[in-house]
Amino acid sequence: MTPVAAPLVIGGVTVAPGERRGISLPVGMLHTRVPVQMPVWVIHGRRPGPRLFISAAVHGDELNGIEIIRRVRARPLTGLQGTLLLVPVVNVFGLLQHSRYLPDRRDLNRSFPGSERGSLAARLAHLFMTEIVERCTHGIDLHTGAVHRSNLPQIRAQLDDAETRKLATAFGAPVVLDSRLRDGSLREAAAENGIPTLIYEAGEALRFDEMSIRVGVAGIVEVMRTLGMLRRKRGARARPAQPVIADGSHWVRAPAGGILRTAIRLGQRVGSGELLGRVSDPFGADEVRVDAPHEGIIIGRNSLPLVNEGDALFHVARVARPGEASRAVEAISGAFRDPGDVISS
């Protein structure tokens, strides 16, 4: 007899095996006494298996993940084994204000695992941990770069864990960055509960980026296949290249304030000492070069020409064989690039 999954209870709501159901978790009140709720969509397979959470907008201005989750939810996911918990907006307060932070300026992603009676950030983190994360076996947290800062699609994960490394490479983003755990982060809190969690970084805050969204949707589906939650299709198209593994990275900062003129693009290979851009006064009379500190791949870039001394300008990942890595990045990115740059269904 085929085993049947047990019912799942979230927020006091029971989800039966084989059921898809939306749930709203209460997180507080606005000043007008309007309730604020965290939206959750549960897809509970009939057969037991891994429980995977997909979360977005832990930082309220990071929007790509919301669209990624919408597209994942719209898929039929036929024959799902296990459970998918989709949370498109974790930081509801930040989203309402188009802000990375909560109303008290706390960073939710430095507030985990939180507490039931602490600050608003602590309470929100505690709710998400107890109702979502601790009920799961694996997780993927979706992020973007900050305001005026764009990231090449990339996975950040602690690669010394074998299960995490397997899922990180399976996702299929152009770059996988070996990234240490940060104090107070969702990824650290999940790891302490034995839950391997990937961070997907792609695009820029307050913007949709079609290529980043497509890479994210495809990556989530591939992780689900790797976990055995979905069957792998026969005759499926092979990936264009293997992701590039980066063992570290470095942010290049502005040597002076002024107007930045950028000389490189995201995903481009750069050599040690190569020109990344120039910072000058409006006339270009007083100009300062910005050079690469080491050989690597550009995985993040400031998109605002107006810079102050010390601003983060270019994020350079250290990779083995940069030439081969650059070709792999271009092959993967090109497979998902949309010439029309439109948001599709």
By DSSP bridging, strand 269-270 and strand 197-203 are: unpaired
What pTM, to 2 d.p., does this model score? 0.95
Instruction: Specify the higher pLDDT residue, 4 or 271.
Output: 271
Dihedral angle of Cα 83, 89, 90, 93, to the nearest 10 degrees:
-160
Helices (H), 57-115: 64-74, 92-96
What mean pLDDT is predicted for residues 205-233? Answer: 95
**Cα–Cα distance measured from residue 343 to residue 82, given in angstroms and rounded to the nearest whole number:** 30
**Cα–Cα distance measured from residue 159 to residue 9, given in angstroms and rounded to the nearest whole number:** 32
Domains 8-226 and 250-336 share a fold: no
Q: What is the pLDDT of residue 323?
A: 80
Q: Quickly state the pLDDT bin for 187 (edges 50, 70, 90).
A: very high
Angle subtended at Cα 118 by Cα 115 and Cα 122, rounded to the nearest 5 degrees: 60
Angle subtended at Cα 166 by Cα 300 and Cα 65, rounded to the nearest 5 degrees: 45
Domain positions in the chain:
8-226, 250-336
Q: What is the pLDDT of residue 1?
A: 60
Q: What is the pLDDT of residues 233-286, one digit of tens each?
A: 776 677 778 899 999 999 999 999 999 999 999 999 999 999 999 999 999 889
In whole numbers, what is the pLDDT of the chain averaged over residues?
93
**Cα–Cα distance measured from residue 202 to residue 116, given in angstroms and rounded to the nearest whole number:** 32
Q: Quickly state the pLDDT bin for 342 (edges 50, 70, 90).
A: very low
Among residues 159, 179, 185, the alpha carbon closest in space to that of 170 is found at 159
What mean pLDDT is predicted for residues 296-320? Answer: 95
Report which residue type is found at 259. I
Sheet arrangement for strand 306-307: 287-291, 275-280, 258-262, 306-307
Architecture of domain 8-226: 3-Layer(aba) Sandwich (3.40)
**Cα–Cα distance measured from residue 267 to residue 315, given in angstroms and rounded to the nearest whole number:** 10
Of 101-110, 168-177, 307-316, 330-339, the range with the lowest mean pLDDT is 330-339
Report which residue type is found at 172. G
Q: pLDDT > 70: what percent of the chain?
A: 96
Classify domain 250-336 at the CATH topology level. Answer: OB fold (Dihydrolipoamide Acetyltransferase, E2P) (2.40.50)
Radius of gyration of the chain (CA): 21
Q: What is the pLDDT of residue 100?
A: 97
Q: Which residue has the tokens 């299709």?
A: 233
345 pLDDT higher than 50: no
12 contacts 40 by C-beta, under 8 angstroms: no
Angle subtended at Cα 48 by Cα 195 and Cα 185, rounded to the nearest 5 degrees: 15
